[in-house]
A and B are shown apart, each in its own frame.
Chain A
Amino acid sequence: MIKLTHIDKFFGNLHVLKDVNLQVAEGEKLVIIGPSGSGKSTTVRCMNFLEEPTSGEVYINGVQLTHKNKTEIVRNSTAMVFQQFNLYPHMTVLENLTLAPIKLQKVPKAEAVERAYKYLDIVGLREKADNYPATLSGGQQQRVAIARALCSRAKIILFDEPTSALDPETVQEVLDVMIRLASEKNITMVIVTHEMGFARQVADRVIFMDHGRIVEEGPPEHFFTNPTEERTKAFLSKILR
């Protein structure tokens, strides 16, 4: 479904990804953890070419992403949920959800609206359809952003620290939505997060990154109870108190 081969990424002189190799299977829920600056966000942003790798290849459903085809492949196959929500502030919730389906997938307006309400129901925000994002709490905005991602019907959803910018009391409502989403067998999720309990609950596989490399990977039970790498142990001991 997603394949990264020998990805290197530089920001100027900063070597942020060092030979990252990774495959994500269809329907897999992959969680990427690691300290800040470890390259986990950059890795997930390479998957939809928000960052184009300096070298190495990204494949989505067997097709190599290039500068030329990225818009079309991203449009049809992936959606993203950001740390800062990034809802369009000049549009209502409903308009945020229907813009891409109407403009990009040429879905008739009535159908796009119907689809939007369906996903607003899933995230529990039907009554906020006519609100502007600025009137919603952070947690609500992020749930709208998840609904927006679902409206694209993309099979791959990328989450870049979706709860890191939230007030502590609204984190759980977003995690709950994502946990429900994770029970969908045909959606592939790649999640960068610091929420270890959540990671343990939804992940099929966990990847630990540090200094631009994948240090360790494995199923959550192995990962959280019996990591092999010293750096993983050190990180987990700091974060799981």
Chain B
Amino acid sequence: MLEQILTPWRWQNLFTQWPALLQAFLTTLVASVLALILALLLGVIFGLMSTSHHRLPRAIARIYVEFFQNTPLMIQLFFVFFALPYAGISLPSFTCGVLCVGVYTGAYISEVVRAGIQSIPQGQFEAAYSQGFTYLQTMLLIILPQTVKIILPPLVNQCVNLIKNTSVLAMIAGGDLMYVANNWATNGNASYGPAYLISGVLYFLLCFPLSTWARRYEEKLKQQDIQKPAAGKEVAA
């Protein structure tokens, strides 16, 4: 172990590969952003469905959540990448990865959104309906903005998980950070230590600022609710 990490040539060798590593880092970044957009979209849609008064949308949301939460991401990915081509659906590995990680995380996010909506007092819905807002307006203008503060910490947890989960791309040669690090490590020189250390650091660099930002944002929002009127913001009579 120590030999692995303390041998300079292994590190030199690794750093001569930095363009490939950078490329892989960017692939992971882009895959994460795209999957996150998909996951948030699905999360909000299915989160809304699971708080519906009607049984059908609730049931559909339930099935979605239970299915994707209770089967391994890896199997979902392998199914889409290796099995679907036999049904005539052949997707590039990057697309497969984004799709699977997005849909998988969407299931978790929809549960976060559902819990957030259910934590808003009934009176908020009633006030909105009594003013004549439609269901969708009520959700988008009044309810969901109020849930942000509540769901942000678990939401960011899910985002961080999503970024880390994009490493499943390595299993289908997705060209992501994990894949390239793995390739390099196993490519004859057996430099596992440096490869996984460096890729780990790079994942950390992606995730840590995100969770830090979210924590600060949450604090700011909490402050805002008890904010006194800002000086000079008084509108003249």
Residue A79 CB within 8 A of the other chain = yes
Residue A86 CB within 8 A of the other chain = yes
Which residues of B line the A interface, CB within 8 A? 121, 123-124, 126-127, 129-134, 137, 141-142, 145-146, 224-230, 233-235, 237
- Nearest CB of chain A from residue B207's CB, rounded to whole Å: 28
Q: Which of A78, A88, A131 contacts B130 (CB 8 A)?
A: A78
Decide yes or no: A74 and B146 within 8 Å by CB, A132-B224, A132-B225, A135-B226 being known contacts.
Answer: no
Decide yes or no: A50 and B130 within 8 Å by CB, A117-B235, A130-B233, A131-B228 being known contacts.
Answer: yes
Residue contact B235 to A71, C-beta cutoff 8 Å? no
Q: Which of B121, B142, B227, B237 contacts A135 (CB 8 A)?
A: B227
Interface size class of A (residues with CB under 8 A): 35 or more
Contact with B along A128-157 (1 / 0, CB 8 A): 111110110000000000001000100000
Decide yes or no: A100 and B126 within 8 Å by CB, A90-B145, A117-B235, A132-B226 being known contacts.
Answer: no
Q: Which of B133, B226, B234 contacts A103 (CB 8 A)?
A: B133
Residue A196 CB within 8 A of the other chain = no
Contact with B along A70-86 (1 / 0, CB 8 A): 01101110111010101
Additional A-B contacts beyond A72-B132, A127-B229 (11; CB < 8 A): A50-B130, A80-B127, A82-B127, A86-B121, A86-B123, A88-B146, A100-B131, A130-B235, A134-B226, A148-B131, A152-B131
Docked CA distance A80–B133 (Å): 13
Most buried by B among A72, A86, A126: A86
Residues of B within 8 A of A135 (CB): 226-228
Docked CA distance A117–B123 (Å): 25
Residue contact A134 to B132, C-beta cutoff 8 Å? no
Residues of B within 8 A of A103 (CB): 133, 137, 141
- Nearest CB of chain A from residue B128's CB, rounded to whole Å: 8
22 chain-A/chain-B pairs, Cβ below 8 angstroms: A72-B132, A74-B129, A74-B131, A75-B133, A79-B130, A80-B127, A84-B121, A86-B121, A88-B127, A88-B146, A94-B235, A103-B133, A103-B137, A104-B131, A117-B235, A117-B237, A128-B229, A129-B235, A131-B228, A134-B225, A148-B131, A152-B132
The 9 closest A-B pairs by CB, nearest first: A75-B132, A86-B127, A80-B130, A86-B123, A130-B229, A100-B131, A74-B132, A130-B233, A84-B123
Most buried by A among B127, B132, B146, B230: B132
Q: Which of A75, A82, A94, A132 contacts B123 (CB 8 A)?
A: A82
Docked CA distance A87–B129 (Å): 13
Residue A108 CB within 8 A of the other chain = no
Contact with B along A87-118 (1 / 0, CB 8 A): 11110001000011001100000000100010
Residue A48 CB within 8 A of the other chain = yes
A129 nearest CB neighbor, chain B only? B235
Residue contact A48 to B130, C-beta cutoff 8 Å? yes
Docked CA distance A76–B129 (Å): 12
Residues of A within 8 A of B229 (CB): 127-131
Q: Which of A86, A104, A117, A148 contacts B124 (CB 8 A)?
A: A86
Residues of A within 8 A of B137 (CB): 103-104
Docked CA distance A204–B4 (Å): 90
A72 nearest CB neighbor, chain B only? B132
Residues of B within 8 A of A131 (CB): 228-229
B224 nearest CB neighbor, chain A only? A132
Residues of A within 8 A of B132 (CB): 71-72, 74-76, 100, 104, 152
Docked CA distance A104–B124 (Å): 17
Docked CA distance A117–B234 (Å): 12
Docked CA distance A79–B234 (Å): 28
Residue contact B145 to A79, C-beta cutoff 8 Å? no
Residues of B within 8 A of A82 (CB): 123, 126-127, 130
Docked CA distance A134–B132 (Å): 24
Query: Which residues in window 42-88 of A have CB below 8 A to B?
Result: 48, 50, 71-72, 74-76, 78-80, 82, 84, 86-88
